[in-house]
Amino acid sequence: MNNLSPRTKDPMQLSSLSACPESYWKLLIAALLIPTLWTRADLVISELMYHPAGEPLDDGIETLEFIELTNAGTTVIQLANYQFSQGVEFVFPNGSILQPGSFLVIARDSTAVKQHYGVQNVIGNYTGQLSNAGETIRLVDPLGETVLRFRYGTSGAWPASADGAGHSLVLKDLTLDNDLSSSWQSSRAIGGSPGAAEPAGNEGNLQRMLIQKGAQGFYFKGVKEPSNGNTDWAKPAFETDNAWLSGRTGFGYSNNAAEASHLSTTLNDMRNNYLSVYARVPFQLTGSDIDRLKSLQLTMNYDDSFVVYLNGVRVGAEGVNGNPPAFDQNSIAGSDYDPQTIDLTSRQNLLVSGRNWLAIQGHNVGIGNSSDFVLAPELSLTLKELPSIEEQQRAVVINEVFTNGSELSDYVELYNPTDAPVDLSGMWLSDKPDPLMLYQIPTGLIIPANGHLVIEASVDQSGFGLSSQGESIFLSSEDGSYVAASYAFGPMEMDMSLARFPDGADQWFYQSTSTPGQANQRNRHGAVVLNEVMYHPQLNENAEFIEISNISSEEISIGNWSLAGVNFQFPEATSLPGDGL
């Protein structure tokens, strides 16, 4: 869920109304006239590239930054005059909309982002720059009220691989609280997945619908040719004009309940007015999707005929003559037809990374003598399983970090949380996002199931040591194409380690006794503990607080104690009662 601020308005005296600028009244009237059919929870920041890999330009600008918005609802979102007011600055131009289930990328340099990532649903340019140290991003509506806000970080549970190693931050699920680090993960691939859904790994479903009933698309009523008698209208680069309407797939009309179940856009004016309907429906693929393609199946629910094009190339037809059929061409026959499935797997060469287009023209048997018309495509994708070794390696986590020891050498401990041994041969360990390839794990090095592997972090052993002031650790693939595990830690106390507890869990704790190659232990240091922290209040930043607790039964003096991370020292006479706060 997003952090939403309630609407609050100060009382306005009647005598002050005339002092309001004309622009205020225009925005207010627009807000009242346009129905708000979508809820604020529908609009989600789903991906963030705040620190791209590589050095910035001479002026310090990182041109490949981006913010991705997703419409998680079922209604079109009008974004005109909305603006990012914190973190970066950008006003959405007139006509900006976000269709249900669609993505929109807002870029620091839209041209660079389009060219580098190969996506087209990009707008910009915003001013300012996303902080590489973490910050708050805020989007407000035309009246200046907060629509969404979230703060990202760069250490602890926030994925370190998004901080200069080339990965992006990706929201795990669109319903999660985006202020929590546990709601975010690093993208599977370096470069992220801007403008598209994050591809699933082997742990995800290998089958998914690219176009299902009710998918958002565009349609043209066949009262004339859509592109002067050629098939330009079916090509990816075709630009629709006002004659093309926005609508959801299944197009047509019917009084038959079975046929009507396929319809989402009812064409009550088709009979006696036009014979044909043309449709363009976009769908997204990644390069990995194309490489792993096992099958691509198109199911056509239709009555009476159709011709289908994939990225502008004709790939199937049924029941109508012509190449292409004219807009006023009758179908060969009229009847009720079973759904037809077309195997498009062999057309893999037509697919591209990013946005693809399925274009279809459907024809009726007659302009005034047909009781029904149906044009309802469904497109499904099946992926090949990834090599199991990659998924196993991605499951390995950085489990414990030790530096600043009086006797023991610095080390990084890896942990295999799976029930099968994992071969780490050839993987790389580094304390820098660039280069990632500093220490290569020797061939044949295997972590047993639910086991540990300790690697000494020293110049002699691994080529790098760990800073006691804090830094990041990266475990990346043999070819450097992705970071499998990462962790950013802060200053370390002498002879203490930082470890997950229990092994492999999300939570990290300091250990007074390090446990290399063994199960981690959570140690409390005395009876005084941090009990609660409010680090990011929703409405008032001054409402932050830290709560400490005495878990013993005896009163404890904490006079002259201090808190690290904030500038505060307890007065000399301060004490905590037994079992008190």
**DSSP bridge partners of 70:** 44, 103
Cβ atoms of residues 317 and 342 within 8 Å: no
Does residue 22 surpass a pLDDT of 70? Answer: no
In CATH terms, are 14-199 and 208-383 the same topology?
A: no
Higher-confidence position of 127 and 21 = 127
Token readout for 178 is: 């985006």
pLDDT at 35: 41
**In 9-158, where does DSSP find H-type helix?**
22-33, 110-117
Sign of CA dihedral 255, 256, 258, 259: negative
Cβ atoms of residues 186 and 486 within 8 Å: yes
User: pLDDT (tens digit, 9 = 90+) per residue, 167-183?
Assistant: 999 998 887 888 788 88
**DSSP bridge partners of 295:** 382
CB proximity list for 248: less than 8 A, separation 6 or greater: 214, 215, 216, 217, 264, 265
CA distance 477 to 426: 8
Does residue 255 surpass a pLDDT of 70? Answer: yes
CA distance 342 to 322: 19
Q: Homologous superfamily of 388-511 in CATH?
A: Lamin Tail domain (2.60.40.1260)
Token readout for 112 is: 């660079």
The domain defined by 208-383 folds into: Jelly Rolls (2.60.120)
Per DSSP, the residues of 16-28 read GGGGS-HHHHHHH
Cβ atoms of residues 401 and 467 within 8 Å: no
Cβ atoms of residues 544 and 565 within 8 Å: no
Mean pLDDT of all residues in 128-150: 92
SS (H, E, C) 198-217: CCCCCCCCCEEEEECCCCEE
Neighbours of 224 (CB within 10 A): 12
Cβ atoms of residues 85 and 118 within 8 Å: no
Mean pLDDT of all residues in 329-346: 86
- φ/ψ of 109, rounded to 5, equals -140, 95
CA distance 16 to 232: 57
CA distance 356 to 353: 8
pLDDT at 24: 53
Burial 139-165 (b: 16+ CB within 10 A, else e): bbbbeeebbbbbbbbbbeebbbbbbbb
User: pLDDT (tens digit, 9 = 90+) per residue, 213-248?
Assistant: 888 899 999 999 999 889 999 999 998 899 999 888
Query: Which of the four pLDDT bands, split at 50, 70 and 90, describes residue 28?
Result: low
Sign of CA dihedral 563, 566, 570, 575: negative
Half-sphere exposure of 517 (CA within 13 A, CB side): 4
The domain defined by 14-199 folds into: Immunoglobulin-like (2.60.40)
What residue ranges do the domains of the chain occupy? 14-199, 208-383, 388-511, 528-576
**DSSP bridge partners of 114:** none
User: Taking Cα atoms as reference points, which of 568, 401, 389, 559 lies closest to residue 472?
Assistant: 401
Query: Which of the four pLDDT bands, split at 50, 70 and 90, describes residue 15?
Result: very low
Higher-confidence position of 490 and 280 = 280
- φ/ψ of 211, rounded to 5, equals -135, 120
SS (H, E, C) 507-576: CEEEECCCCCCCCCCCCCCCCEEEEEEECCCCCCHHHCEEEEEECCCCCEECCCCEECCCCEECCCCCEE
pTM of the model: 0.55
Token readout for 460 is: 């002699």
CA distance 74 to 248: 11
Cβ atoms of residues 199 and 107 within 8 Å: no
User: pLDDT (tens digit, 9 = 90+) per residue, 536-573?
Assistant: 777 677 788 888 888 878 888 888 887 766 778 888 88
Q: Please, what is the Cα angle at 95 between 89 and 98, to 5 degrees?
A: 80
Cβ atoms of residues 165 and 474 within 8 Å: yes
Token readout for 487 is: 């962790």
Does residue 29 surpass a pLDDT of 60? Answer: no
CA distance 388 to 503: 23
Q: Which of 89-93, 266-270, 273-277, 288-292 has the lowest mean pLDDT?
A: 288-292
Q: Which of 45-49, 200-204, 274-278, 516-520 has the lowest mean pLDDT?
A: 200-204
Does residue 480 surpass a pLDDT of 90? Answer: no
pLDDT at 529: 76
